[in-house]
Amino acid sequence: MHLVHGVATTSESLGSPTFPKSMAQIFHPSLNTVSRATIFGAVFILGAAAFGWDSLLRSPYVTQVGVARDQPVPFSHKHHVGGLGMDCRYCHSYVEESSSAGMPSTKVCMTCHSMVWNDSEMLAPVRESYAEDRSIEWTRVHDLPDFAYFDHSIHISKGVSCTSCHGAVNEMPLMWREASLQMDWCLSCHRDPQKYIGPRDRVFDPDFHPFDLDLETRQALAEENRVESLINCSVCHR
Amino acid sequence: MSSVAGDQNLTTVTEKISSIVLERKVGKGWILGLMVCFALVMLLLYSITVLLVKGVGIWGLNVPVGWGFAIINFVWWIGIGHAGTLISAILLLLNQEWRTSINRFAEAMTLFAVSCAGLFPLLHVGRPWLAYWLLPYPNTMGMWPQFRSPLLWDVFAVSTYATVSALFWYVGLIPDLATLRDRAQTGFGKVVYGLLAMGWRGAARHWERYETAYLLLAGLATPLVVSVHTVVSFDFAVSIVPGWHATVFPPYFVAGAIFAGFAMVLTLAIPLRKIYQLEDYITMRHLQNMAKVMLATGMIVAYGYIMELFMAWYSASPYETAIVSNRLIGPFAHVFWPLMLCNVLAPQMLWFRKVRHSTVGLMIVAMFVNVGMWLERFLIVVTSLSRDYLPSSWDDYHATFWDWSLFIGTLGLFGALLFLFIRFLPMISIFEMRTIVPGGRPKGSGANGNGEGH
């Protein structure tokens, strides 16, 4: 209260409650600027905070899109699928019948790697796992929350190709998420699935993307496969 | 009778009202009252904690009565708020100068009532921390609120109402906060009131802008008096549940809200003017005028009840008639007849001059109406839900301890906020009172000076 004049006023010298004799400055004049800046700035600060929060929620930091994950063994889809031309179902063997695509057991790895690269340092954990009959603890890349029901088999049988969701795995040295797996991403297809349908016999072809076909063809395929837009809450949140 | 009684002038108005905040010693009654209310606020917080830990299952809600106390109390509190807005906005635009001494605490009442009201739907959604999902905003779920649902309209109606009420109240306070700043005797008081007064100096330019802003806010608030409770009534009327699906609901709800609101203003004004010796400011004329508004809106509410009966007969729908017979002679008769006593019979006492002139009489009628309006919402919510189309789905509704504790807790919150308000802010608008005391306005200025109703 004495900031401006520096006068050591006491409360008595401020006068009687009825007629204050001296009206000493309570606030420093600079507070005018501060108050204007905070009042007008609040709009921008709140706006920027909201924008920042939304951007954070959609950023790779949260969604892990495009972030290659370290694995106990640096398994390369690029080498196995792109280079050797292995079919998805060789390892993910229940994808056509089950909700889960299935992770291969070490025995599946060893069908080849007992012969090929069987003394490679890089594959030591695989041989160890095989010898000790203990699973390799892979880092899970695509992990849906437990409250969302998802079934691989129905997507496969309706003609949704692997690459539509998982991206071009044949070009990924280490696996990363191609899609955010956030609900608006699910809905972007579920609201209008006809656009994303391909022929069932090309579902496992990593070089195929439904957008290679024109829209009419995709819509005809959707009709043939009896694809419906399922957007009820209880379709996924059961 | 005048809007100001006794020998009041510019100085005494300022002194009297600001001294309640700045000089008056904290009384034993105030402390006791705040203590009781504070204890109830603790009960409220405890009930909310238990609710958040265990879920809405601790309430008496179940199929088929899925709404229960949460909605009854929400509608009751929201309705109470309406008198504040009507007094501050509509009566201002209509130049009713008698509003001046009651608008401030009526607005405070609105604000606190809306706060209590807002708690119920927030808690009713089950996971209040996700309540922002009710708002349309870009999100990673790709979700958008259901704009065809009146429950969503409620979100907008109530949040707009809360915002405009808070703004109106605060803007109205600014010149008075400056008065308190100038008269405060402690450095702390000067700084706090000074910050809140936002640099108000009472310059002509300030006043000119202030009056424009205040009128604009009044214009914004005016439609809310009608719209908010109309939207609340749509929660019921838009559904096809027997007893709810009626076009009379919006006007009948709005009238009920104003009816309930004025009852609450009277409930607060009568003790306040007595305790703080404000009889010169809140005169018998104010109380009488409020009683007349109550009588008029009470008649509209009674008309609403009659229309409900008439429509049930006229529709020839067995479901509608069943609802009415459930109320008149069925399982809800023990709510219906007390409701008629509270909301239809009791207000008829206000036809008598003697009752309108007696604070005790007014207080009794107001209490009847406070209870009656709660019973009305109970009847509306519970009758229709517990006995709808399919007898196989019928079931009774019983409130649990936690239903009651939450309701009583909000009464405590409302009371505690009011106690703090009358202690820390001027409960009557000082600067507006200054305009209606003798000598408060330059001669010949304004048609609304001292022309009407003395």
Give CA–CA dist B277/A81, Å, rounded.
89
| Upper half-sphere CA count for residue B448 (Cβ side, 13 Å) | 14
| Owner of token pair 């309706």 | A158
Read off the pLDDT band of B24 (50, 70, 90): confident
Residues of B in contact with A17 (CB under 8 A): 19, 22-23, 183, 185
pLDDT at B188 over 70: yes
For residue A19, the chain B residue with the least C-alpha distance is B183
Give CA–CA dist A173/A182, Å, rounded.
24
Determine whether the interchain pair A186/B199 forms a contact, defined as Cβ–Cβ distance below 8 Å.
no
pLDDT at B103 over 90: no
- B235 touches B150 (CB < 8 A): yes
Read off the pLDDT band of B449 (50, 70, 90): very low
Determine whether the interchain pair B194/A26 forms a contact, defined as Cβ–Cβ distance below 8 Å.
yes
Residues of B in contact with A184 (CB under 8 A): 139-143
Task: Give the rounded percent of residues in chain B with a pLDDT score beyond 90.
Answer: 65
Domains of chain B, by residue range, sit at: 10-136+145-436
Determine whether the interchain pair B141/A184 forms a contact, defined as Cβ–Cβ distance below 8 Å.
yes
Q: Which residues contact A155 (CB under 8 A, 6 or more apart)?
A: A165
- B62 touches B395 (CB < 8 A): yes
Determine whether the interchain pair A26/B183 forms a contact, defined as Cβ–Cβ distance below 8 Å.
no
Read off the pLDDT band of B90 (50, 70, 90): confident
Least confident segment among A72-76, B40-44, B81-85: B81-85
Give CA–CA dist A3/A24, Å, rounded.
9
Q: pTM value?
A: 0.86
Determine whether the interchain pair B142/A184 forms a contact, defined as Cβ–Cβ distance below 8 Å.
yes
Determine whether the interchain pair B185/A23 forms a contact, defined as Cβ–Cβ distance below 8 Å.
no
Closest Cα of chain B to A162: distance in Å? 23
Q: Given this model, what pLDDT does residue B440 score?
A: 62
Mutating which of A7, A16, A26, A55 best tests the B interface, going by the most B Cβ atoms within 10 A? A26
- The number of helix segments (H) and strand segments (E) in chain B equals 17, 0
Determine whether the interchain pair A58/B140 forms a contact, defined as Cβ–Cβ distance below 8 Å.
yes
Task: Write the pLDDT tens digit of every residue in B287-324.
Answer: 999 999 999 999 999 999 999 999 999 999 999 999 99
Closest Cα of chain B to A233: distance in Å? 11
Residues of B with CB under 8 A from a CB of A: 11, 15, 19, 22-23, 138-143, 181-183, 185-187, 190-191, 194, 198-199
Helix (H), strand (E) at residue B381: helix B359-386
Residues of A in contact with B23 (CB under 8 A): 17
User: Which parts of chain A have pLDDT scores under 50?
Assistant: 1-21
Mutating which of A184, A232, A233 best tests the B interface, going by the most B Cβ atoms within 10 A? A184
Distances in Å between the Cα of A150 and the Cα atoms of A62, A89, A96, A226, B203 are 21, 18, 13, 19, 67
Determine whether the interchain pair A183/B143 forms a contact, defined as Cβ–Cβ distance below 8 Å.
yes
For residue B12, the chain A residue with the least C-alpha distance is A18
Q: Which residues contact A211 (CB under 8 A, 6 or more apart)?
A: none
Determine whether the interchain pair B140/A184 forms a contact, defined as Cβ–Cβ distance below 8 Å.
yes
Of A17, A35, A58, Cβ closest to residue B183: A17
A226 backbone φψ class: left, alpha, beta (φ>0; ψ -120 to 50):
left
Determine whether the interchain pair A183/B141 forms a contact, defined as Cβ–Cβ distance below 8 Å.
yes
Neighbour count for residue B234 (Cβ, 10 Å): 19
Residues of A in contact with B181 (CB under 8 A): 26
Residues of A in contact with B185 (CB under 8 A): 11, 14, 17
For residue A53, the chain B residue with the least C-alpha distance is B139
Task: Write the pLDDT tens digit of every residue in B337-357.
Answer: 999 999 999 999 999 999 999
Q: DSSP string of A166-232? A: H--GGG-SS--BSS---HHHHHHHHTSGGGG---GGGTT-TT--GGGS-HHHHHHHHHHTT------
Determine whether the interchain pair A185/B142 forms a contact, defined as Cβ–Cβ distance below 8 Å.
yes
Residues of A in contact with B198 (CB under 8 A): 35
- CATH fold of B10-136+145-436, please? Formate dehydrogenase/DMSO reductase fold (1.20.1630)
Domains of chain A, by residue range, sit at: 12-57, 63-84+144-236
Q: Given this model, what pLDDT does residue A6 score?
A: 36
Of B140, B143, B190, Cβ closest to residue A26: B190
pLDDT at B185 over 50: yes
For residue A59, the chain B residue with the least C-alpha distance is B140
Task: Write the pLDDT tens digit of every residue in B217-263.
Answer: 988 888 988 999 999 999 999 999 999 998 999 999 999 999 999 99
